[in-house]
Structure 1
């Protein structure tokens, strides 16, 4: 596999042939977890790049899942866990106006009406907010501002692990969708 080494914020990072930063081989807990999350984020970006609106709406029968839906869903998940749960922020547009009780899959369904630039921008902005929350957090053990009904709150460590799992699962879907569109395959 072709790799390039780049220096970012004083750190050496290996970038693979698809432009994905490789997780560090020997780093602290926070850098390792963030390395794996950044790799998963970059995988989604790679699977969705260069596609037009029709491609982002394409499905693989019998599923109604689309790459555009993945971008919008993961935008929501980024904001939901980092900004809302961990930092305690109010919902931002477009999440603040969705009627989640009558349409719990709103982000998936509504993505078919959104242009590619909007979907990519929505996702990039949500990721940027999540990165900012991570930068400001004192440590991975810090608990989220919001709590479950029983009073328990997830730690930032739990949220990071959950986000890695969320991206990894959906990147498998993205592989199938992208291959059905133009035959592009890859890990």
Structure 2
């Protein structure tokens, strides 16, 4: 583990720093768990829902893109749903663990920049992401991202356990 757990007692300069610490921690855990899996298990699903670990990785990268760049900032990002095909998560045959982890790292840099440019109580730009609802504040978006990562890291724990790889934090 290269990024320590963001203990609640560790001093932080701001709430934004706390969110960044949690997101960095979860990204690190995601990468570590994926690297522990046997290569064949990265594209296989042992679960009834059918998702694969590479699909999960691509999904979480696009979740950050959708919520922060496309949703909150209202920017044109090309295909904000590029992680999905036919209503399912999707990783192309040419997608590799290294390539998708590099994309996650690149997205993390862009996400940190979005967080640095805005106050947590700032409201997002109205747009397609909100499906006609009022846009959320950056803080609400970041809470959503933290819960999304936490939930999916738990899902990945199950896959790792079934594959005989490490589980837990």
Q: Give yes or no for TM over 0.5.
A: yes
- The answer on whether the counterparts of 2:65 and 2:80 sit within 8 Å (CA) in structure 1 is no
Would you say 1:75 and 2:90 are equivalent positions?
Answer: no
TM-score, normalised on structure 1?
0.75
Task: Report the TM-score when normalising by structure 2.
Answer: 0.83
Identify the structure with the greater strand proportion. Answer: 1
Query: Structure 1 stretches (4+) deviating beyond 6 angstroms?
Result: none
Say if 2:47 is the partner of 1:61.
yes
Query: Is it true that 1:164 corresponds to 2:137 in the alignment?
Result: no
CA distance in 2 between partners of 1:98 and 1:30 (Å): 28
Larger radius of gyration, structure 1 or 2? 1
In 2: Cα distance, 1:96 partner to 1:175 partner:
27
3-state SS in 2 of match to 1:33: helix
**CA 1:88–1:172 in 2, change beyond 3 Å: closer, same or farther?**
same
1:112 Cα deviation from its structure 2 partner:
5.1
**Higher RCO structure, 1 or 2 (CA under 8 Å, sep 6+):** 2
User: 1:116 deviation in Å?
Assistant: 1.9
Instruction: Report how far residue 83 of structure 1 moved.
Output: 0.9
Of 117, 121, 133 in structure 2, the residue corresponding to residue 136 of structure 1 is: 117
| Alpha-carbon separation, structure 2, partners of 1:22 and 1:46 | 14
Which residue pairs with 1:146 in the alignment? 126
Where do 5+ consecutive residues of structure 1 fail to align? 1-17
Backbone CA RMSD of aligned residues:
2.5
Post-superposition Cα deviations, 1:57-110, rounded to whole Å, max 9, x if no partner, equal: 132232312110111000110100111111221124xx368596x7232xx233
Is 1:104 the counterpart of 2:87? The answer is: yes
